[in-house]
Amino acid sequence: MTEAPFRIDVLIDEFLNFMTIEKGASLNTIDGYSRDLSRYATFMAERGIFEIGQIATDDAVACLSSLHKEGLAPNSTNRTLAALRGFYKYLLREKKVDRSPLSHIELARVWSRLPDVLSLKEMESLLAQPGRETPADFRDAAMLELMYATGIRVSELIGLNLNSINWHVGYLIACGKGEKERIVPIGREACEKVKKYLETARPLILKGGRSDRLFLNRFGKGLSRQGFWKIVKGYAERAGLGKKVHPHTFRHSFASHLLEGGADLRSVQIMLGHADISTTQIYTHITRERLKEVHRLYHPRG
């Protein structure tokens, strides 16, 4: 088949419309795809390439390499590659191209680095940081404990409402990527701290107002991603952990600690909400790294 002179920018708009209308992708997903694909189109335009059929594998590799050299985080590079693969899958289906220049590219795997995790001792130190004096203390303790107990994303945490937790059975319903819901067990410690927050602190934060959101800021409104990140950063500094800790660190540590404790990969995949088990398998690498570290520290000839 001879490829028609389809303009890259026009096809990107068509793809984003397809993802929005037919696939029902979330606003966050569309925004991310739009940024990544616009960056791709800009890079090609700077090379004098404006039509999709003119892009060769070398061009795609050069684009991804430039992002890596510019210091784009490995996770962001992976996300860009995922967006491009989705884009070309759509183009192949619509017969706008007869090949994908990405078919043999595995750069995401080459550039990805193991996510940062906390040891059990470090996590216990972090969870112990919130006090027991102010409403914010009880809220923070509940949020940190819940993040570690469930491995949910920060967007899922701040999106929880009062009906998201089933207290009788002991699980919560998280709304993940693509608005997909999943059930995740909570655990005794997290249940106790969230209940304590609901009974003693949340009414004081709400100050007679009304909100369906579970976790609130000091104005009685739903907490933001940035607000939670600042909370995590403050407690990590107070704990003196000596490493960067961000909201996703709880998710990484949750998965790593479960696998180290003997959990099977499939169960961890379900709790994390990963569509593909290969995404979850990165945590088996973490576990192997941890085993090597233990061997190095404690074996007489390590």
Exactly one of 35, 196, 248, 290 is catalytic; name it.
248
Q: Is 283 among the catalytic positions?
A: yes
3-state secondary structure of 72: coil
Fold of 120-298: hpI Integrase; Chain A (1.10.443)
Exactly one of 79, 202, 251, 257 is catalytic; name it.
251
Q: Is 153 among the catalytic positions?
A: yes
Look up the pTM and report it: 0.63
Exactly one of 153, 202, 252, 257 is catalytic; name it.
153
Q: Is 90 among the catalytic positions?
A: no
CA 169, distance to chain mean position in Å, is: 26
Who's near 139: CB < 8 A, 6+ residues apart?
Answer: 197, 201, 202, 205, 215, 216
Q: What is the percent of the chain where pLDDT is above 90?
A: 58
Q: Is 244 among the catalytic positions?
A: no
Q: Has domain 8-111 been given CATH number 3.40.50.300? A: no
Q: Is 96 among the catalytic positions?
A: no
Angle (deg, nearest 10), helices 27-46 and 57-69: 110
The residue extents of the domains of the chain are 8-111, 120-298
Helix ranges (DSSP H) in the chain: 8-21, 27-46, 57-69, 74-93, 107-111, 120-127, 135-150, 154-158, 188-196, 202-206, 225-239, 247-260, 265-272, 277-280, 282-298
Who's near 74: CB < 8 A, 6+ residues apart?
Answer: 108, 111, 112, 113
pLDDT in tens, 248-299: 899 999 999 998 888 888 899 999 988 878 778 777 766 666 666 666 776 6
Q: Is 248 among the catalytic positions?
A: yes
pLDDT at 23: 85
* Token reading at 8: 């890259």
